[in-house]
Structure 1
Amino acid sequence: MRTSPQLALVALAAAALIGAAGFIRAQERPSFEDSPFLRIDPERIVMSARDARVPCGECHVDEFAVWEETPHATGFNTLHRSEGAADILERMDLQVAKRQESLCMRCHYTVDTSLRAIAGVSCESCHGAARDWIEVHNDLGSGVTTPDQESPEHRGQRIQASIDGGMLRPSGDLYSVAANCFECHTVPIEDLVNTGRHSTGSSRFELVEWADRIRHNYVEAQWTPGAENREPSPERKRVAYAVGKLLDYEFSIRGLARATEDGRYTKGMARRVSDGYRQLEAIATAHEIPEVTEVLRIGRELPLQPGNEDQLLAAADQMRAQGQAFTARSDGTDLGALDGLVEGRTVVAAAPPEEAAGADPGAVAGADPGAAAGADPGAQEAPEAAGADPTPPPETAGEAAVAAPEPPRVTVGQVRARPAWFPDENPAFEVIDPGCGCHGDAEDWWFEDTHESAHFRLLNQEPRAVQIASLYGISTAQMSRGDQICMSCHGMPLSASPAAQVTTGVGCESCHGGSSQYLDPHEDGGNPQLGMRNLKDPAVRAANCSRCHLVTDERLLAAGHPSGASYDFAAANQAIQHFPEGRVERARGRRDESYSAVPASALASAYAAERSSRPVPAVEVVEYTPPAPAQRAAQTPPPVGADQPPQPRSGTRVSTTGGDAVTPPPPVPRPRPVARSVRSQAPARSIDLPPLPAASDSTATEDILLAVKERLEAIRRALGRER
């Protein structure tokens, strides 16, 4: 047994070793400015490692109580234990999320001077490291105990001194505080996304809504007992909404600037850029904001592909200047037209009252209003979608240039109205698009699959899509909305804003069901009763896919839409296999649960039964007469989804569809049955393209497929230029 002197020597030796190790770590670690793993200087953090309440929670008691219940706080104990985090760490060859060399430290944790995580996303993560302002921000002056006693001069000096010390104040500089949010809710680290399969940012991050989830507006509670957690005013929400969209676009541009190769990261950031541009267009449609107009102009001139870092970052700096100017001058009183967008509704330009008195553009002349009652989902007529705008689209740019009408008024759609195209669905299972970053392999597949880009033919207003929609009775301006039948199959409308423009193709929830209730429990095996479709059942899968791949709507067929009668269901399912066995499945002892797990024979039988129950009617295809070309005020913009966002025409208000509406011809009457379908033929066009590279018997199959892919992309770009 050791004596007391021996124990003392052991303790001294241990202390010396610990001190030496700490000294070595301090010498080896990079400075804050050079560290890729830190976003905030740990030397300026004042939060106690032993008690998160110290010092902020000692005064801000109510605010701290709110924070303790948010994911920002609870993630400290849960994030590193999640399977998604474990997958990312494994792919990035990292051992622990809370260590100095982990990229997780940048955004998910508060780090002290020893470079260890001491809390999750804390007060100082959002309001700035407090070392240089903690003693200043609450100093009301000598002998002053409450804010009402503080002189205006002292208050101004105190606030400015706090800002100079690094404090981020929402009431004083909303743009900087919100920009701090986007520092982490976008992920501009290419290797983390491409290799680690991290997402490029929070899916559907909306500043007003997400800020409300962590609202802790108790400033008066320190001096007024019983003060409430105040909700921002409508004016404040309007400004915050616009600021959020400006920042989302700016940070997406910054993220794309850091792309070096055409991979998962580049595709994800390009999607964010495209979505951000369209959301700013929606704001411009609702209300003219000079700074938003300028940001859209800057965005239209950008080359959106890897290798343009300097140009993209310079443009992002210009966008930031515009956003800061808007925040400094606007108090939101004149932005009432944005209320529909703030509340999750859609805003569209309305036609004059005399034009709005006509029929619903989604209704077909001569159709029996009750004809669709009881019909199967694939045979749906065009019921009046709840919340749909019954007005015809605004005139084209050419008509605007000639007639010079009054600026269109603005109307607002209804909230949370669900389209009726698939009435068998339970509206309680809402489509929320949470992002499926945990399923990295499946997400990689989706980015390359045609389902992901199915909505672009509507967003780009491709001639064939315009033709079918017009003959069906849907205007060009409305065919990309979620409450119209087109996007019920070509996109993934969100339940919270069904009448808004759809900016996502056929996504996870399009096939697997709305995830609002099964998102959390599905990790434990799923529960069909919570909205997750049992796609292992061939009959369920056949019914699910046939809703869109088997068209039995007579009017849609008469408008020239393919019926899908030749669709090879079994082969198509083999082609979309996207759930290979991975680390999580191995850990759980599961077998491969990919789409190929269901035998092809069972799939073929199930789809044959589906087709037998819903035969494709034979109809006569109505000939399409395009409207006479109108005088254009500017050149037609290129399509979206290629290398740049849509461009609004000069002299017109920006449309939420990314282009001007083309006045459709009268909708087709109810078709009469005929012996067989007759397809209308589009006129042939010629395109000048370079010759294909020579190939021989020794040419690799991958090289041939790559050459074919490049040729198809060249054709698509050429066709886009012709439009």
Structure 2
Amino acid sequence: MKALIFLLLLNPLVWAQDNARFSLEDPAKIVAEEFSKTPCRECHVSEFEVWEKTGHARSFWELHRKAPAMEIAQKMGVSLIKRDSPCLKCHYTINDLEPPVRAISGVSCESCHGAALDWVQVHADYGTPGADPKLEMPEHREQRIQTSLDAGMRRGDDFYALALRCLECHSVPDAELVNRGGHSTGTRNFDFLEMSQGAIRHNFLQSFLEGDGRTNAEAEPDEQRRMFVLGRVAALEIALRNLAQSNQEVYGQAQLRFLRESRRKLQSVQDRLQLGHFQKMLTSTADVTVRTDKVTLLEKAKNIGDWAMALEKESLSADWSALDGLIQGTDSEAESAPETPIGPDPAHSTFATLGPGQCVSCHGDQNRWWISDPHGQSVDPFFEASERVQEITARYGLASQDWLRGDSPCMACHGSVITGREKREVQDGVGCESCHGPGSGYLDPHQEGEKGTGDRRSGYIAALTLGLHPLRQAETRAATCASCHYIQDEKLLASGHRSGEKFAIQTALDKIKHWPEPLDFTADAAAYTAISQAKGPIPQVEVADLPAPEAASLSPGPDPAANAPEPSPETAVEKLPGEVLSHVRPNPKHPVIGPDRCVSCHEPQAQWWGRDVHYRSLDPFFDQNEKNQKIAAKYGIEQRDWLRGTHVCMDCHGTVISGRESRNASQGVGCEACHGPGGDYLEPHQEGKKADGVPRPGFTQSLPLGLNPLQEVDARAEACMSCHKIPDARLVEAGHPDGLRFDFAAGVKQIRHWDNPLEDLAVLSATYARVSGISPEQAQASRAAAAVVPEVQTTTDTPVELNDLPPLDPNTDSATLLKQIQQRLERIRSAVQKRSQ
């Protein structure tokens, strides 16, 4: 039924093969004449009203004014973004290729549903008097739909075709735009179902047929399941096509990671549905690398498309309800990391490893070198399950699902293990910090001073005391290389791993040179020899025989729910009686849109946020922190619900985007937690000159639209108090901190990411005491109690019994609360004294 549209979309686009510089559709067949002048508007009134408010429509008025877009255009040699520009392909609609090619609209009806010249009349011909769709005969409807499809229309229920068109742009179909222009590499986590049911949803058809045409209905459950699955399959095909377009530089590596992410998501679907089509897709793409040739990639993409079309047809009668947990966010995408470490903890530094993504903005040339270097690709053999990796890990006794975990012995030298994520899958190869040192301490300081002054620069000198390795010294270079290339682990050597005995440091350094200044490597060989001798000889061991292979399992993977770890005796606690709240602070009155919408204009703040504890506030939940387990169990929240947006934990520990409340949060405490939900003020707050500050029109207009006036200390205190003072006594009783000891003044000083001077700390403290009702005496006493507790835990065999004392209530008066805290301090001091006797 959909053969023609499949060919037009997937072969790849027939139009796109020769003429797609400016458009994914044939401009000669676009019927729209300008922004609001389109035949679609005549019948689809409600749909048009929705579209006018979307980012798709607004791109016509806004994109060319944004600084990041202008910077990309300059790099690409484009003077006008809306004329003769590669931006036209995905951000605008054009209807004429006569120069100068210009935009007539933003992303419009025909961008998604197809250029309409050949089908616009057909799809609206119901074969009835007065063109009444209610009187159309079934045979005529079937013929009308088929004719429209054959003419190039993508209907609202052609989920696979629509998902492909969405992903064609959201994955960025232009390698040069990324590699040369510095454009982002696309939306790796694009979710077709989520996006189609969000701001762009325009499903008025049933309301049009049965009512007044004003009800924008959600997709039915069966439709949502099909959209969910087919969107994931489409991502797999698009990733293959993009990789076939270019495997070079940043773009190629980004598309490879997009492919890996798409396979992981499809595997989670296969785990629940166990369908042959999915297994063929996963098997077909398991061996793809950046070195896979274009013909093979396109053949694989075509196969994915063929299987997808068969799958889409079968889905009309299939029961995919097993996916409901995934769709609603109540079921985890993948198995939780086991509690037991699989290897020694990665070497801990005084400073934290941030990951190579933190270095790209300033060191673009070095990043491009790194992506194409073996160090940047050092995780690839593990993702690709190379024969050598399989043999070595089999002898070593390391299961395949553990190869890429941050605490595996492999990733100590083959990957970048970000601090705090040691139990998760490593995504990047040997990165910047593997050699230059963990960057949390020196990332900001090392930028100070004139770059041309070299090792005399103030930032470089300061960074050497904050974790930066002095790689200008031959001894440091040699020691850094030897830490991974000189192998003395007898078990690893017996498993068949290279010893590094033939490693030639001078040759290696010549290959990895990615710095402008010339360096003399003549001393490195002697330094490496000295370090090797100091380490001692490499053990001479025989390589062990390969263990007998286990019988292959027909199942593609275990059921995550069936493998959930049993609670330990320490964490198996009894649930408290009472109500489990979903919020401890008021529901937002305006839509929350997520921190990604702020990054393009507020890049310095985004970089600060990426290193702050607010950004990492979800990590204890991902890592199944024992304290979190106990609190949640006692309060009455199951582990699978910790990250759900409808549960109390994410009210303060995560960013819950409006419309996605039933799903798992994926980001920590973001911009809107303090600045206010930004859905209504995002655009207005940009009006006026930033230098004008709070009198700026955009700022004033945004206040009634949800923006918090955080220049006022009271507003800041209230924002902090909404999470740091816990009003739910039951949550406190479950073991959650009550917030009494929160130091507002110190907190504001720590999170400062603005230019205006900081207020006097005493003023901050006094304001918080007034706003929160927590006196400085209460806070001081509570902090004093907290300071004693760790001491008593190490000086007594059993914890101090405090359960017989009245529970602390933050809402009680200051004198009573202080008295209760003093009772606890006396009990603790007494226990310490008895222990010391």
Give TM-score, length-normalised by structure 1. Answer: 0.54
Percent identical: 27
Change (3 A) 1:572 1:499: same
- Secondary structure at 1:176's aligned position in 2? helix
Amino acid at match of 1:487: M
Of 333-342 and 520-529, deviating more is: 333-342
Select 1:118's aligned residue among 104, 125, 132.
Answer: 104
- Secondary structure at 1:129's aligned position in 2? coil
Offset from partner CA, 1:485-541 (integer Å, 9 cap, x none): 543443223454545322122222222223344445434105555433332234543
Task: Give 1:564 shift.
Answer: 9.2
* Match status 1:178 vs 2:159: no
Determine the structure 1 residue equivalent to 2:758.
Answer: 598
Distance 2:185 2:258 in 1: 12
Determine the structure 1 residue equivalent to 2:24.
Answer: 40
* Match status 1:531 vs 2:716: no
Change (3 A) 1:531 1:482: same
Task: Give 1:99 shift.
Answer: 0.5
Amino acid at match of 2:164: A
Select 2:664's aligned residue among 487, 501, 518.
Answer: 501
Would you say the 8 A contact 1:468–1:561 is kept in 2?
Answer: yes
Amino acid at match of 1:439: C
Determine the structure 2 residue equivalent to 1:361.
Answer: none
Select 2:69's aligned residue among 84, 88, 92.
Answer: 88
Distance 2:717 2:255 in 1: 30
The structure with the greater share of residues assigned to helix is: 2
Determine the structure 1 residue equivalent to 2:797.
Answer: none
Determine the structure 1 residue equivalent to 2:43.
Answer: 62
Would you say the 8 A contact 2:617–2:653 is kept in 1?
Answer: yes
Change (3 A) 1:485 1:211: closer
Offset from partner CA, 1:312-334 (integer Å, 9 cap, x none): 99887776566544422123773
* Match status 1:675 vs 2:822: no
Determine the structure 2 residue equivalent to 1:166.
Answer: 152
Offset from partner CA, 1:74-130 (integer Å, 9 cap, x none): 966773346863552245324433111241443322342222222333332222224
Distance 1:572 1:34 in 2: 57
* Match status 1:107 vs 2:91: yes
Change (3 A) 1:553 1:277: farther
Of 561-570 and 120-129, deviating more is: 561-570
Alignment size in residue pairs = 518
Change (3 A) 1:149 1:189: closer
Task: Give 1:289 shift.
Answer: 6.7
Distance 1:473 1:338 in 2: 25
Determine the structure 1 residue equivalent to 2:598.
Answer: 436
- Secondary structure at 1:675's aligned position in 2? helix
Change (3 A) 1:464 1:301: farther
Would you say the 8 A contact 1:284–1:293 is kept in 2?
Answer: yes
Offset from partner CA, 1:207-230 (integer Å, 9 cap, x none): 442487333538988xx9988878
Determine the structure 1 residue equivalent to 2:463.
Answer: none
Change (3 A) 1:142 1:35: same
Distance 2:762 2:185 in 1: 35
Offset from partner CA, 1:212-270 (integer Å, 9 cap, x none): 7333538988xx9988878576255334542465268548956996797789x989997
Amino acid at match of 2:712: D
Select 2:223's aligned residue among 225, 237, 247.
Answer: 237
Would you say the 8 A contact 1:239–1:332 is kept in 2?
Answer: no
Amino acid at match of 2:619: F
- Secondary structure at 1:457's aligned position in 2? helix
Distance 1:506 1:175 in 2: 35
Aligned pairs for 1:181-200 within 5 A? 181-187=166-172, 200=186
Offset from partner CA, 1:541-579 (integer Å, 9 cap, x none): 35534666788999989988889999887676566555x
Distance 1:155 1:528 in 2: 51
- Secondary structure at 2:104's aligned position in 1? strand
Of 509-518 and 60-69, deviating more is: 60-69
Amino acid at match of 1:100: D
Would you say the 8 A contact 1:433–1:509 is kept in 2?
Answer: yes
Determine the structure 2 residue equivalent to 1:128.
Answer: 114
Would you say the 8 A contact 1:573–1:596 is kept in 2?
Answer: no
Task: Give 1:176 shift.
Answer: 0.4
- Secondary structure at 2:164's aligned position in 1? helix
Select 1:327's aligned residue among 288, 300, 312.
Answer: 312
Amino acid at match of 2:670: G
Of 197-206 and 481-490, deviating more is: 197-206
Distance 1:46 1:227 in 2: 26
Aligned pairs for 1:300-379 within 5 A? 323-331=308-316, 334-335=319-320, 347=330
Task: Give 1:175 shift.
Answer: 1.1
Would you say the 8 A contact 1:238–1:339 is kept in 2?
Answer: no
Distance 1:279 1:678 in 2: 56
Would you say the 8 A contact 2:680–2:705 is kept in 1?
Answer: yes
Give TM-score, length-normalised by structure 2. Answer: 0.47
Determine the structure 1 residue equivalent to 2:351.
Answer: none
- Secondary structure at 1:79's aligned position in 2? helix
Change (3 A) 1:437 1:38: farther
- Secondary structure at 1:525's aligned position in 2? helix
Offset from partner CA, 1:13-68 (integer Å, 9 cap, x none): xxxxxxxxxxxxxxxxxx964667423244542425379756x44xx831267426
- Secondary structure at 2:69's aligned position in 1? helix
Would you say the 8 A contact 2:654–2:666 is kept in 1?
Answer: yes
Pick 1 or 2: higher relative contact order, CA cutoff 8 A, min separation 6: 1
Amino acid at match of 1:598: L
Determine the structure 1 residue equivalent to 2:477.
Answer: none
Distance 1:561 1:262 in 2: 44
Task: Give 1:145 shift.
Answer: 8.7
* RMSD of equivalent CA atoms: 6.0
Offset from partner CA, 1:445-487 (integer Å, 9 cap, x none): 4445553343233224356654665576654333333344543
Structure 2 stretches lacking a partner, 5+ long: 1-14, 333-559, 568-579, 687-697, 795-800, 806-823, 833-837
Would you say the 8 A contact 2:163–2:234 is kept in 1?
Answer: no
Would you say the 8 A contact 2:122–2:144 is kept in 1?
Answer: yes
Determine the structure 1 residue equivalent to 2:430.
Answer: none
Distance 2:777 2:288 in 1: 50
Change (3 A) 1:436 1:564: same
Distance 1:677 1:324 in 2: 74
Structure 1 stretches lacking a partner, 5+ long: 1-30, 350-392, 401-416, 579-593, 625-667, 680-723
Distance 2:253 2:49 in 1: 36
Would you say the 8 A contact 1:235–1:333 is kept in 2?
Answer: no
Change (3 A) 1:516 1:608: closer
